[in-house]
Chains A and B, each alone.
Chain A
Amino acid sequence: MSATEQKIAVKDLVSDQEVRWCPGCGDYAILKTVQKVMPELGVPRENMVFVSGIGCSSRFPYYMNTYGFHTIHGRAASVATGVKLANPELDVWVVTGDGDALSIGGNHTLHVLRRNVDLQLLLFNNEIYGLTKGQYSPTSKVGTKSPSTPDGSLDMPLRPCTFAIGAGARFVARSIDTEAKHLASVLVRAHDHVGASFVEIYQNCNVFNDGIFEHVKNKKTAAETRLLLEHGKPLVFGGENQKGLRLNSIALKLEVVDLGEDGVSEEDLVVHDETNKVLAHMLAELKSPEFPVPIGVLYCNPTSPYHTEVYEQRDAVRERKETTDLNALLRDGHTWEV
């Protein structure tokens, strides 16, 4: 049996490198889930490539016993684009953070999504700069006190999923570091989607920004604060599924309603449709505590990925041009003999 045919075990994906994240960091949980999911994807280990930029999350490739490239700040998406273009057989994963992907690398994130490069982009969002010791990030809430903003940050935060949808991403999802089962299912979906798959993962930085996602993560309150998305199912939440989201067609926005009150029934609720971009945008914009936080696949509407288009165009050119002889190219056009 060749190496490619052998079923990969989780331990095969653990590299011999000592993991160097802070004890208690959410990255540990994500790493474990990724290592658990990868063997299920039917991809030979030698075809797995993890590319990262700079930041805590970007150390990720060192801990995966696959091909990996720890590149420079903000540019992982561009390096990954080159990898995929050079060899479309490879299964490319980009691991990045809120600073890496949305601040210094914002431009590349925008373009890798709109170009629909076939890769999975995992954005570990902890709303803070960890590796540089705690400065506020482009996803930090207004008023975040940090070494660079001792009196509180002033600028409006970016919402990663809204950004991704706006950039033209065809797959946008959100999950949580410690929700292993949910995260695993989202990762499988992201991998199944052919094209650029954007996954925002709420990740707790217990050193510089501890507990910012507590309202969503806390098991006791989760039922009331999370909206678990399922394609074709009505948008319901609450401990007894007693609440839902209804479209206010006058104000053109979602509103929370109580089922059974004022004659509201499940038929009045919005049914989740992953292919509806307008709905995806509305969901991405829902903010706590007024609304529950949507978790799951917000948007999935596949189209042909970039590398397919590139190589199809090339095939078409090859059909048109008969020769691939360089000597012929050099002599093509106007020549003369002396």
Chain B
Amino acid sequence: MSQRFRLPSGGHVDRSQRLGFSFDGRRYEGHAGDTLASALLANGVRLVGRSFKYHRPRGIFSAGIEEPNALVELRDGARREPNTRATVAELFDGLSATSQNHRGSLGFDWMAVNGLLAPFIGAGFYYKTFMWPAAFWERVYEPMIRKAAGLGRASGLPDPDHYEAAHAHCDVLVVGAGAAGLAAARAAGAAGARVILAEQDFLLGGDLLNEAEHDAWRSETIAALEAMPEVTVMPRTMVFGAYDQGVLGAIERVADHLPEPPPHTPRQRYWTIRATAVVLATGAHERLIAFPGNDRPGVMLAGAARTYARRYGVRAGETAALFATHDAAYDAAFALAEAGTRIAAIIDPRTDSAAMQRAREAGLAVRAGSVVNGTVGGKALRGVEIGTVGSASRGDAVPADLLMISGGWNPAVHLASMSGAALRWDDALLAFVPEEREESAWQRSAGACRGVHGFGAAAADGAAAGRAAAVAAGFDAADIPLPDAPSADHRPYALWEVKGGGKAFVDIQDDVTADDIRLAHREGFSHIEHAKRYTTHAMGTDQGKVGGLVGAAVLAEARGEPVASVGLPRFRPYTAPIAWGAMAGGEVGRHFQPVRRTALHGVHDELGAVWMDAGIWKRPAYYPKAGDTDGWASVKREARAVRERVGVCDVSTLGKIVVEGPDAATFLDRVYANTFSTLAVGRARYGLMLREDGIVFDDGTTTRLGPDRFFVTTTTAQAGPVMQHLEFHLASAWPDLDVSLASVTDQWAAMSIAGPKARDVVAAVVHGLDVSSEAFPFMAVADCKVAGVPARLFRISFSGELAYEIATPAGYATHVWQAVMEAGVPYGIEPYGVEALGLLRIEKGHVAGSEINGQTTALDLGLGRMLKKKGEFIGRVLAQRPGLTDQSRPHLVGLRSVDPARQIRAGSHLLVDGQDCGWISSATQSVVDPGWIGLGLLRDGEARIGSRIIAANPLMGEEVPVTVTSPHGYDAENLRVRT
């Protein structure tokens, strides 16, 4: 099929370059410089999609980012991208696109039956209809609605492309490279400022691209910008959001105009731009008029038809009508007439105007005082019905396959509004424009985005804004050559809607009609934000760029108020859709988050460890061995080795903080609920830390290394928060204390050697230290050498067995571990993982993160005796509140499944006589007395020891009888750790 709507010359397409592409499987040809939309129009393709709700046939409506209809699936396979706007998709050779949102073919869509049901599926239909029965929502209604709704299909495959995040700094950021933006960038650049000029289009010029007679100024300005070394021009870069303090976000489409990105090139780049001053020159979006049938393929914004003719050399129709409320739109009729399209009628509600007279002089048929009150046609426009202003009766029809409409221009105020500018109603333009405010002098709007239309006026406004921005960034103002050109009159007649039979859309993409807006008002959703959510008005990918204000005007009329007081919904990023991949950037797959490995990671890997995540740490869960029937067999084997012989476990992930200074002991007394100032040098003590609200925060052992020097350990999970907690209180509450803190978690590797034979193993590797119980009792700490390298030995235990912990500078970790393993061979040493560690501590009754869960007090955990009676500490005062000292609060207990074979689970509820009285916090299988055991928090827990209750898990359909026990069932006298 030839490009029969392509003009022989003119515009910014290169007719010598032929690009083949396909749409819905049919082959077409376009040129370099085309968008998919302009190439489709050149080939006479009018029907490009189906609407969201009613599945009405739709055509290309705009020529830019505001496109509501022409959304396609671009590319195939893993690169398929749904909901891509054909109006901004740059044509390349081999492009393949598919229409979306229809079952069956685009021409015959089964879902179009929704159009016949339209009287029943207005705004709020889903809310009202799918209410009952409630259980049907999840199983029946929602899947059905989800199947029917939505637009394009995601590929469902991993994205083969990669994306980059990048940062840029500049003195002046100019957003938009139309007349205003080009002038602003040049003025700021001439002043010497570092300038970034970002333009979403692949060509610079904006509306200048439609004005061949001004192309010399455009080319000369671009050349001047390229000659300035401090000016960076970024085409294909859409600024999508404005944030605080001159930070703006942008997407650079690096390779979207190519079949696929070249090697080592990202598809898109996500820019964070920090600018001292910002000029917004984002232009304006033309708005529709609501009239019956205003969505028919062939109805198009007037400015878009003009752009297709002038920039792309494409006639959007054979016979056109123009329905406009202001003079500036008439240029579309002149452009189409020049291109050879027959102008059937110009329909204008006004009585007379300069442009009307010019049109008459040019021989065009002008129907003053008229409106379009209907369209004729099915999948393509065939005619336009013309009535008179204020009359409900239908008038005559004129044949046309293109109806160009314009209800005025809405300044693109999105970024201005996001960055804090108030919006002001402009009575002449009938639109919101940004209020200029002194406190936002670093940021200003220029040109059409603040209502200054016309090439000459916009360029002058842009130059002034660029100069001011450069001055705001500390440069001296400079002048640039400016063009002289008259401005067309953009002030529209106030006509938002032509009422009549049939659907008059205010939001074409979401199928929201003027009647839907009125329905929302009648049903009480009269605030613009409520009406938006009730009707989905302006919630599509176009965010109401062409019809948002029209919907607001319909609502204003229903409320009997001016549009200005109805306003617009809040503008938020993103101004136009961006790809998820760009937001994710390089942080995908294994780069999604960092992995923390201990110094012994390679050792565990060689031992075949099964890994588990502890935050971002990788820790060995257990080490499977031949003969282990399952994971539990491995875990229990490891735990038995500790109970019966000796085991070794990597505990390097515990947080380690050195607290040093003359006031270190005083500080620790204040941050811990127990006392450390009485601790002797060379001794360790278990410490309990509370939050200010009296809830337990963390626990761990702290060692006194010297009079003014302590070594604090924290749990793995709370290492960071505890450090921050200590830093905060030193800075805010006790700046008078002379204390320094240093996190040394990564500097030290640590391993626990636990079991009845632990001393034999430790004695074999430690030099220069008597490790007998007399010389080195429970809670002793000393520096020593292990296997010839420096180390520190702690006699502390988490497992309930005789145990030592060897800490060594991380670089020696593997050497020390291997020495320990070798020394342990005669004693049957086994490495044990986090699962066995958990088993052992539950058996012993030690609390961990499942019990110190941010809800429990020291009293709840049976640790009330640790709270010092005298002296200040964080959490002391608020822990005394009645709610936290209530005797009926759930208390730590041990639990044992009555039937040793029946599993109990963490999270199960504890039922006493059918009443929910607590929960299981941790569960495991005992190796000392086989069967399922656990720890839990139970109301009146201590009083219930010995009684039988129910552990209920409704999710698993289980009710397991359990016996309440003391949590300290294993070696309650603590003899084993002290031997």
- Asked if chains A and B come from one complex, the reply is no
Using a CB–CB cutoff of 8 Å, the interface residues on chain A facing chain B are none
